[in-house]
Amino acid sequence: AVAGDLAQPRLGLSAADWALCAGVDVIVHNGALVHWVYPYARLRAANVLSTLEALRLAAEGRAKRLVFVSSTSALDTDHYVQLGCVSESDDLEGSRTGLMSGYGQSKWVAERLLMHARRCGWPVAIVRPGYVLGHSRSGATNADDFLWRLAKGCAELQLAPVMANPVNVCPVDYVADVVAFAASQSRALDHMVYHVFNRAGFRFHDIFELMRDYGYPMVDAEYMRWRSVLMESTLEDRDSALYPLLHFVLDDLPTSTKSPDLDDKHTRGLLEGSGVECPDVKSLFGLYLAYLVEAGFLDAPSGPATRALPKLSVEVQGLAQRSGHVKEFSGQTVGVDSYIWLYKGAFSCASDLALNIPTTKYIGHFLSRARMLRHHGIDPLFVFDGGPLPSKLHTELERQRNRQERRQAAIKLWNQSKRKQAYELFQRCVEVTPAMAKAVIEVLGREGFRCLVAPYEADAQL
Contact of 153 with 221, CB cutoff 8 Å: no
Contact of 136 with 173, CB cutoff 8 Å: yes
Phi-psi region of 84 (alpha: psi -120 to 50; beta: other; left: phi over 0): left
Distance CA 304, CA 392 (A): 46
How many CB atoms neighbour CB 11 within 10 A? Answer: 21
SS3 12: helix
* pLDDT for position 250: 66
Encode 335-369: b = buried (16+ Cβ within 10 Å), e = exposed. Answer: ebbbbbbbbbbbbbbbbbbbeeeebeebbebbbeb
Cα–Cα distances in angstroms (integers) from residue 443 to residues 114, 184, 349, 360, 367, in the given order: 51, 62, 18, 11, 8
Please give the DSSP secondary-structure letter assigned to residue 395.
H
* pLDDT for position 344: 79
* pLDDT for position 389: 66
> What sections of 68-141 are H helices per DSSP?
78-83, 102-119
Closest CA to 276 of 205, 359, 212, 184: 184
* pLDDT for position 246: 66
Tell me how far apart the 2 most distant CA atoms of the chain are, in Å. Answer: 75
Closest CA to 131 of 167, 81, 97: 167
Element counts in the chain: helices (H) and strands (E): 20, 13
Please give the DSSP secondary-structure letter assigned to residue 388.
P
Q: What pTM was estimated for this model as a whole?
A: 0.71
* pLDDT for position 323: 47
Distance CA 453, CA 451 (A): 7
Cα–Cα distances in angstroms (integers) from residue 404 to residues 397, 411, 430, in the given order: 11, 11, 10
* pLDDT for position 257: 81
Closest CA to 290 of 303, 316, 309: 309
Q: What are phi and psi of 219, to 5 degrees?
A: -110, 155
* pLDDT for position 18: 92
How confident is the prediction along the chain (462 residues), in pLDDT tens digits per residue? Answer: 778 899 999 999 999 999 989 899 999 999 999 887 788 999 999 999 999 999 999 999 889 999 999 999 999 999 999 998 999 999 999 999 999 889 999 999 999 999 999 999 999 999 999 999 999 999 999 888 889 989 999 999 999 999 989 999 999 999 999 999 999 999 999 999 999 999 998 999 999 999 999 999 999 999 888 888 887 777 665 567 776 666 666 667 777 788 889 999 999 999 999 999 999 999 999 999 999 999 889 999 999 999 999 988 766 655 544 445 677 888 999 998 888 788 878 877 888 888 889 999 899 889 988 998 998 899 999 999 887 766 666 666 777 787 788 888 889 888 888 877 787 777 777 788 899 999 999 999 999 999 999 887 666 666
